[in-house]
Amino acid sequence: MKQWIEQRISRQVFAVFYLLIALVTLTSIGTYLYTQRTIDTTTAELERISSQRSHATNLFETWQSMQYEMRGHVLLGEQALLDRARSAAADIEEQTAWFEGQANTKEEQQFAEDARLLFTIYSTRVMPALEQYVRSKERGEIDEEFLQMKTVGQFMPRNDTSTQTRFQLNSSGAADMSASIVDMESVFTDYRTTLDGQETALRAALSGQLANAQWLWLLILLGSILILFAAMQPYIIRLTRHIQVLIRNSERLAADPYAALVPVKPLKNEVGQLASAFTDMAESLIAQHVEINREREKTARIVHTMRDSVVFVELATNERYGNSALFDLYDCPVPSEDRHDLFSLAPYYEQFYKEIDDPEGLDRFTHRTKNLGLFDETFTYTMHGGKRTVRMYAEPIEVQQVRVGVMFVSRDITKEMETDQLKTDLVSTVSHELRTPLTSILGFAELLEKREVETEKRTKYAQMISRETRRLEELVNDLLDVQKMEAGIGNEVFTVERLFDLLSDVIEVHAGSTELHFFHFNCDESIFVAGDPARLKQVFSNIVNNAIKYSPAGGNITIDVTCDSRSIQIAFKDEGLGVGAGDLERLFDKFYRAQSDDLRDIRGTGLGLAICKEIVERHGGTISAQSQIGEGTTMLVQLPTVK
């Protein structure tokens, strides 16, 4: 039997439940019978008291009615009033006889005796005297405007043989006689007070008995429950221990999916089945957790490999996560080489935010996407004072058709913008620089073709056509050089050359083309450089040509060469117009021209220094510029030494 009960918790619970119901039923029945008997007894007694009170009230009201009728008869002398008074007296006789027959207690017997005595006194002495008084007044024997009790007392029969001493009627004193007549009210009040006391005592006794019955029932019930729980304690302890073990295992799994579980000895009941199911569930959860981590890591690594910057915003918590490309975009070191998950942006968000030129515009864009769900537009913003251009778009992330987050994707389009600008500059440069020499060539050619021109002018026009053609050739060559360098096409032949000879040839060519400039050259003849002589001369020639062109008032042009164990420094310094700090940053960009009015009037394509930079970098060197407006420019070329 015990083993059968242990196999199901429901059997254990129902066994306890049925036993408890049986005990409660038995104690309830016993308490009910005891209480019902007490209530019946007390109810019967209360009904008797209520009946006594009702009859006493009727007796008192009849007594008062009789007195009122007699008083009316005395005042008015009407026979009908006297008849009603005699009828009331007959009722009092019956009611008093009822009390005498129903009196069970001492108080009831005393009330019946007092009522009988008062009624006898009133009916045998007072009523006859009042009747005689009325008749005497009718015969004219008494002439009084108001009733005088002393006069009534003269007609009252003598009763000197009475032995009662409680109610004495003094016929010689009107006040004593009047007080004696109303003694019935005092008797009734005392009796009713006695009945109220009895009723209160009965109710109090009934309440106490009911309370005792309730306490008795409660004590029996508590005792039964304690006995039952004492009997069930071994089962409860075993179940509690197994449930506590399951709770500890649940906490361990919540903290660490791979935690070792506390072993559980399985029971034969539902808790044992729950323990077995929990163990199976834990193993399944571990397998699922491993798979989820694997998928999450795979997803994170895919996002990290994207070249576009990604920011995921969790709408419920407003937490932000980003990939590696985002940190590259903001020139910030990647927080960790661990790419198992996206990086939290909480420690870096303010730092990234400060690098944006238009944070308010970015806030408005993110607000529209997150709060209004507008995903059809893109937002382009700049960073670092316009040095970098970024284009952003947003996509909603939905789970089961509920939007849980927003993915913001940013792409650095600086190169694209630069390419577009280069295309624009190329079109502008080509259209301007080609149109000018072509216009001159076409104009002079038409003059030579259609007009008779003197020999001297013809020669001059031919020279102009030749000069503009060479200018056009230089522009085409620059464009070809740029195209070849961008395509990685080059046929340079590197040799070891004396730097003094290369610079001397360039200076000699340019010195003969100007009378306003004075060259100062300082170079050790023992310095050698490795490179393509033609390309190096192109660099030096372009720099010297710019020094002449951008110092239209003339001046000194100094070429100073220094050398150490690592590099050769060649400084080209002029005393020309100079350029501002803003122009220096873009001086080597293709098609870029300085923006000052003085420099804008000087012809140029903006390709020369860009070509120089490309050639110098191909030779493993660097080129830079230092300048101040009105004080000239220094171009510094560094080339590696020959080892």
Tell me how far apart the alpha carbons of residues 26 and 101 are, in angstroms, rounded to a whole number: 45
Token couple for 516: 């306003």
Tell me how far apart the alpha carbons of residues 493 and 530 are, in angstroms, rounded to a whole number: 10
DSSP characters over 147-172: --HHHHHHHSPP-TT----SS---TT
List the domain range (segments joined by +) for residue 313: 306-412
Tell me how far apart the alpha carbons of residues 255 and 288 are, in angstroms, rounded to a whole number: 16
| Radius of gyration (C-alpha) of the chain in whole angstroms | 65
Task: State pLDDT tens for residues 372-401.
Answer: 877 778 888 888 777 788 888 888 888 888
**Do 624 and 480 belong to one domain?**
no
Helices 183-255 & 270-305 angle (0-180, nearest 10): 50
Helix boundaries (H) for 339-454: 349-354, 359-372, 414-429, 435-450
Q: How many domains does the chain have?
A: 4
Tell me how far apart the alpha carbons of residues 264 and 241 are, in angstroms, rounded to a whole number: 10
- pLDDT value for 177: 43
**Do 579 and 514 belong to one domain?**
yes
What's the CATH number where 636 sits?
Answer: 3.30.565.10
What's the CATH number where 442 sits?
Answer: 1.10.287.130
Residue at 114 is within a domain = yes
Residue 373 region, left (φ>0) first, then alpha (ψ -120 to 50), else beta? left
**Do 349 and 427 belong to one domain?**
no
- pLDDT value for 611: 82
User: Of 412, 440, 468, which residue is a domain's last?
Assistant: 412
**Do 170 and 113 belong to one domain?**
yes
Tell which residue, 526, 608, 610, has the closest CA to residue 568.
526
Instruction: Give the three-state DSSP class for 280.
Output: helix
Residue at 213 is within a domain = no
Stretches in the chain below the pLDDT threshold 70: 1-16, 145-154, 156-185, 257-258, 261-275, 278, 418-437, 439-440, 444, 467-468, 471-492, 591-606
- pLDDT value for 488: 58
Task: State pLDDT tens for residues 460-493.
Answer: 778 777 766 876 666 666 666 666 665 555 566 7
- pLDDT value for 561: 92
Residue at 535 is within a domain = yes
Tell me how far apart the alpha carbons of residues 487 and 482 are, in angstroms, rounded to a whole number: 8
**Do 45 and 187 belong to one domain?**
yes
**Do 608 and 634 belong to one domain?**
yes
